[in-house]
Chains A and B, each alone.
Chain A
Amino acid sequence: MSSITPADIEVGAKNGGGAPGRPGRVSLGGLSLNLRSSGIYIAFALIIALFSVLTDGALLQPQNISNIIVQNSYILILAIGMILIIIAGHIDLSVGSVVAVTGALAAVLMVNMGVPWPLALLITLVAGALIGAWQGYWIAYFGIPAFIVTLAGMLLFRALTLTVLGNQGIGPFPDQVRTLANGFTNGWLGNIGLGPLGGADLFSLLIGIVAIAGMVLAQWRSRSARKGYGQAVDSLALFALKMAAGAALILFLVVQLARFKNLPWVLVLLAVLVLGYSLMANRTVFGRQIYAIGGNLQAAVMSGVKVKSVVFWIFVNMGVLSAIAGVIFAGRLNQAGPTAGNSFELDAIAAAFIGGAAVQGGVGKVVGAITGGLIMAVINNGMSLIGSPSERVMLVKGAVLLAAVAFDVWTKRRAGTAR
């Protein structure tokens, strides 16, 4: 019983899981799976498999993988900030407008005023922080629900965008900014032949190998440390299996990208952000306090968490990430436009919820939000590859969002934690 089929999982779930007293948990031949936390990854794998078949493999072609990442990078960046806000029990509807206004600001600085691009970028990020601080103040210190403040922000910053741009696009951006948004790492070390796969960029491959080595090393050290503290760890075989699976995934992604045009810069940026924010959410006092606030606000107050300050700073953070997304989006289009970022907030929120965030807050993972964003990206991309009309894409995305949250509510009700 080493293979897990979807049918097994469904049967197991219906029977209340293999392990008694632990609903939502499936036990198969020693492998124990928490459906609620891993369901999303299983779903992602299934969706990729589905579209690979439907598109005759076009989905996983080197260029297409690269496209999916580059075209959705700004949504994924927004999803990182959004998941933190949703974990804390809030919401941000303004991110699309903030993307637009920061993109416009960057364009005015770089194009109209000729400010050197690093300085202009810095100023834009600071502006994003100030926008976040503005909203964070009203939410955390003045006590207006985030829904209202950011709904107002959505209008305010869109209006500001139109004012700054005077209703027309500004461009083109400096090359460096365009490279960041749209470009690829240089082939510093030249190409290497991969037999039947053809030539691939050596530098990208080396980065991939370093990433795999880093992952294995970090996981191994963590495993040793946990053992040292007397915690239960996976058996060596299972650990090796997990590492092999992770390594295969990274290797596949990197090889495919290396065969196309090297690593997209935004992928490098995303990797850094995902790693950094995951660590922040799990390992820092600040990250823990976000979960504490969302899990039980009153208990967090009574435990000495400075709730107002934490909420304020996660909105500042959202502002900065929105500014990064704003610059990347404008750089990719090579123009800051008045309609930039329209409905980005909805995509970012949907990514967070598909990725396993709980509607009441307190639950969610950065990696989950990224996966949720990628699920939508793959659906988008796959359906357009098979020539589905856009209304059908929208229909499917809506259904997936509803199904994901319904699944979450369902597993929670079965687990009965909310007594």
Chain B
Amino acid sequence: MTEHILRMSGITKTFPGVKALQDVNLAVRRGEIHAICGENGAGKSTLMKVLSGVYPHGQYDGEITFEGRRCEFGGIRDSEHAGIVIIHQELALCPQLSIAENIYLGNERATRGVIDWNRTNYEAGELLKRVGLRENPTTTVSDIGVGKQQLVEIAKALSKEVKLLILDEPTAALNDEDSAHLLDLLRGLRDEGITCVIISHKLNEVIAIADSVTILRDGRTIETLDMAAGDVSEDRIISGMVGRALDNRFPPRTPAIGEEAFRIEDWTVYSPSQPGRKVVDGASLTLRRGEIVGLAGLMGAGRTELAMSVFGRTYGVHISGRIFKDGRPIEIRTVQDAIRHGVAYATEDRKRYGLNLIEDIKRNISAAWLKGLSRRGWVNEYEEYRVAQQFRASMNIKAPDVDSVVGKLSGGNQQKVVLSKWILTEPDVLILDEPTRGIDVGAKYEIYMIINRLAEQGKAVLVISSELPELLGLCDRIYTLSEGRVTGEVPREEATQERLMYLMTKGQESLA
């Protein structure tokens, strides 16, 4: 079976300032399960969005051939019409509608505009049997668990007479039992002749289910491995994912590490949306003065959730655990508490959580420290301006003046505004979540210099990053997080990408 159902060749996709995909090739054989592996940001999701028409023809370079025909999809409707269905990581179901209504949403079983409910529910029931979901088609989607919702998504895809099914991290939010069931289902679909492309971080699952694996790294195709040829191990895949030379993209620094500054112990956080699911599970971390500590973990490992729950409980419910600052126990119940105790958190999603995009630079910088810039409730605007000017110079924020609106700045300059805002609060502990996401290489170097400077000033810095080379180049010590648990603590000397990736992909059961 060497016939290729899908061939993508020379795919290049550029976002302003970033080349997300560069000359990527992907060939999928008919009737196989084809896994795509790569680090966060390697370009997997972008590639799938190109394929499914989310980025329509013309917005990328390269050629897509599906079922022997050249395709130029103008949108998702076109790709679905051709038989390509993508199931995203965040499920796209309407929680208030029934299973059957969701399955036929936009594809209603209707005659002359009037929905035939008997036919809808009957056919939905047949589809549910195919995916092995024993639920009444009239059940409301919000009443069933995430695992079953995933099956509804697949049933919905089947209703569209899918030829190529793409699943983006299908098991990321599932427990072991649901995951196993889903993988069985995919095998069954393969036997029915449906081709699957699966994006997954869980390498043991990839090994178990895939017929071939394509590895992406930094927006390029690295290799395609044929699992039937045998001898493809997790380590083999990992080395493909990370095999990248470390050059001197990082400013030099001599660490001067002092006393313990911040410690969290036995930190446990539950998901606010899925009752009973632990997002962070008994995590303990220690940060010392002048030290840059990394926190590595794949998507969904709970890195941001851990940071936000520590930062004034801005994420999660039923949070338990202890926090120590300079060896003394402290309570951080609100963001104000965190700021008062000298803890700062620069978010990974600066547009959503970090900045007021319609406001100017100076007011964004002062936003978390208005108390320090005011007397009896009155803001000293001149001082605010002076401080903002100072940051504009010291952080090299490229803008005509501090009255410029933040929404018009580039990603790198926006990030510098976020960092300025938190440095202004004079923190002892800084948690920087993906500080270089969506930033070009030159600006990254500047951000690294800023981080080094903070450490030199004796602050404790925790850097959360998806880019392992970044952590290796920057950090004195790296914690790995997998499924909410700290799975390792690696000092700089012993840290390699392979070692970290091994710890990051380690499941809970293999730890026990």
Residue positions of A touching B, CB distance < 8 A: 225-226, 228-232, 282-286, 288-289, 291-292, 295-296, 298-306, 358, 362-363, 415-419
| B353 touching A298, Cβ below 8 Å | yes
Residues from chain B with Cβ under 8 Å of A300 in the complex: 356, 367
Residues from chain B with Cβ under 8 Å of A416 in the complex: 408
| B385 touching A302, Cβ below 8 Å | no
B256 at the interface (CB under 8 A from A): no
Complex Cα spacing A257 to B284, Å: 72
| A226 touching B382, Cβ below 8 Å | yes
| A299 touching B355, Cβ below 8 Å | yes
| A295 touching B378, Cβ below 8 Å | no
Complex Cα spacing A226 to B382, Å: 6
B56 at the interface (CB under 8 A from A): no
Residues from chain B with Cβ under 8 Å of A228 in the complex: 382
| A303 touching B368, Cβ below 8 Å | yes
| B382 touching A229, Cβ below 8 Å | yes
The digit string for B95-139, where 1 denotes a CB below 8 A from any CB of A, is 000000000000000000000000000000000000000000000
| B379 touching A299, Cβ below 8 Å | no
| B368 touching A284, Cβ below 8 Å | no
Q: Which of B334-380 contact A (CB under 8 A)?
A: 334-336, 338-339, 345, 347, 351-359, 363, 366-368, 370-371, 374, 377-379
- Closest CB of chain B to A230's CB: distance in Å? 7
Given contacts A228-B382, A282-B381, A285-B378, 11 further A-B contacts (CB under 8 A): A226-B382, A232-B401, A284-B379, A285-B374, A288-B370, A292-B356, A299-B355, A302-B311, A304-B336, A306-B334, A363-B358
| B389 touching A304, Cβ below 8 Å | no
Residue positions of B touching A, CB distance < 8 A: 311-312, 314, 334-336, 338-339, 345, 347, 351-359, 363, 366-368, 370-371, 374, 377-379, 381-383, 385-386, 389, 401, 405, 407-408, 421
Complex Cα spacing A304 to B333, Å: 11
| A285 touching B371, Cβ below 8 Å | yes
- Closest CB of chain A to B315's CB: distance in Å? 10
Number of CB contacts from chain A to chain B under 8 A: 101
| B386 touching A230, Cβ below 8 Å | yes
Complex Cα spacing A229 to B355, Å: 25
Complex Cα spacing A50 to B389, Å: 44
| A230 touching B389, Cβ below 8 Å | yes
Residues from chain A with Cβ under 8 Å of B401 in the complex: 232
| B382 touching A418, Cβ below 8 Å | no
11 interchain pairs (CB within 8 A)? Answer: A229-B383, A285-B374, A286-B377, A298-B353, A301-B314, A302-B314, A302-B354, A304-B312, A304-B334, A416-B408, A418-B407
**A295 in contact with B371 given A226-B382, A286-B377, A301-B335 (CB within 8 Å):** no
Residues from chain A with Cβ under 8 Å of B371 in the complex: 285
A226, A283, A303: which contacts B367 (Cβ < 8 A)? A303
| A299 touching B381, Cβ below 8 Å | no
Most chain A C-beta atoms within 10 Å of own C-beta, residue among B338, B379, B383, B386: B379
- Closest CB of chain B to A279's CB: distance in Å? 8
CB-nearest residue of chain A to B355: A299
Residues from chain B with Cβ under 8 Å of A289 in the complex: 370
| B368 touching A304, Cβ below 8 Å | yes
| A306 touching B354, Cβ below 8 Å | no
**A285 in contact with B379 given A302-B345, A419-B407 (CB within 8 Å):** yes
| B386 touching A303, Cβ below 8 Å | no
- Closest CB of chain B to A287's CB: distance in Å? 8
| A229 touching B386, Cβ below 8 Å | yes
| A299 touching B356, Cβ below 8 Å | yes
| B354 touching A285, Cβ below 8 Å | no
Residues from chain B with Cβ under 8 Å of A301 in the complex: 314, 335
B353, B363, B383: which contacts A302 (Cβ < 8 A)? B353
Residues from chain B with Cβ under 8 Å of A306 in the complex: 334, 336
| B335 touching A302, Cβ below 8 Å | yes
| B368 touching A417, Cβ below 8 Å | no
Complex Cα spacing A229 to B382, Å: 6
| A417 touching B379, Cβ below 8 Å | no
Residues from chain A with Cβ under 8 Å of B312 in the complex: 304
| B382 touching A417, Cβ below 8 Å | no
B334, B354, B366: which contacts A299 (Cβ < 8 A)? B354
**A285 in contact with B353 given A229-B386, A303-B421, A417-B358 (CB within 8 Å):** no
Residues from chain A with Cβ under 8 Å of B383 in the complex: 229
Residues from chain A with Cβ under 8 Å of B339 in the complex: 304
